[in-house]
A and B are shown apart, each in its own frame.
Chain A
């Protein structure tokens, strides 16, 4: 079965640079979530989209922005990168924004800021 696809898998950037992470949800899934996981931490919700509209927002810095496109893929744009942004970034998708739909995670993008 098709899974969530994320690219790139690894990314190394310097401080103050920008980065763009991409997520392709499972076919027919219309909702995308972004999570950030620091070393030894639990995943923290950043932002979510349903039908190309932002549906919820968590602890996402103002330096970050995201959007969902007409083909339902999503991109997370990160600017003025800081050392503390180094983390695993996961995208998850589900069939529907509310209720009790399962969320399936992609393989993640490991971002290292030097």
Chain B
């Protein structure tokens, strides 16, 4: 079935460093790849997304890249800040008749001040 793998499961960086989270999806029909940030007990918050007709997208300190051939997509956060600490989920959708999201298993990012 549809599956999204996410690595690493935990990531600790120093403030100001960059962080990279990688995901791989199984359904080649997927065409939409959002990233969500979730703080403990809070809702998943959409931070950036990319569609299959684009290879890269950037929004200030956050960027996402997509390699459709390899079915890989990645989140890049530069100049990390303590408030970036949270769980980050990648997701894939669009592989079927609906837009349901298949999530990765999450990455706990800790930014050390």
Contact = CB atoms under 8 A, between A and B. Distances in A.
B42 A107 contact: yes
A73 B31 CA distance: 27
Given A42-B89, A43-B89, A103 B99 contact: yes
Interface string A37-77: 00001111100101000011010000000000000000000
Interface string A69-87: 0000000000000000000
Interface string B89-104: 1000110111111111
Given A100-B94, A107-B42, A58 B103 contact: no
A90 interface: yes
Contacts of B65: none
B53 to A, nearest CB: 9
Contact of B102 (A41, A45, A104, A105): A45
A100 B44 contact: no
Main secondary structure of the interface of B (DSSP, over half): loop
Chain A interface size band reads 20 to 34
Contacts of B45: 105
A90 B44 contact: yes
Interface in B40-98: 41-46, 49, 51, 89, 93-94, 96-98
Q: Which 9 A-B pairs have the closest CB atoms?
A: A56-B98, A100-B32, A42-B103, A105-B43, A45-B100, A55-B98, A105-B44, A100-B51, A107-B43
13 contacts: A33-B100, A35-B101, A42-B103, A42-B105, A43-B44, A43-B89, A45-B100, A48-B100, A96-B99, A98-B99, A100-B99, A103-B99, A106-B43
Given A99-B32, A103-B34, A108-B42, 16 more contacts: A33-B100, A35-B101, A42-B103, A42-B105, A43-B103, A44-B103, A48-B99, A55-B98, A94-B99, A97-B99, A99-B99, A100-B32, A100-B94, A102-B49, A105-B36, A107-B43
Interface of B: 31-32, 34, 36, 41-46, 49, 51, 89, 93-94, 96-106
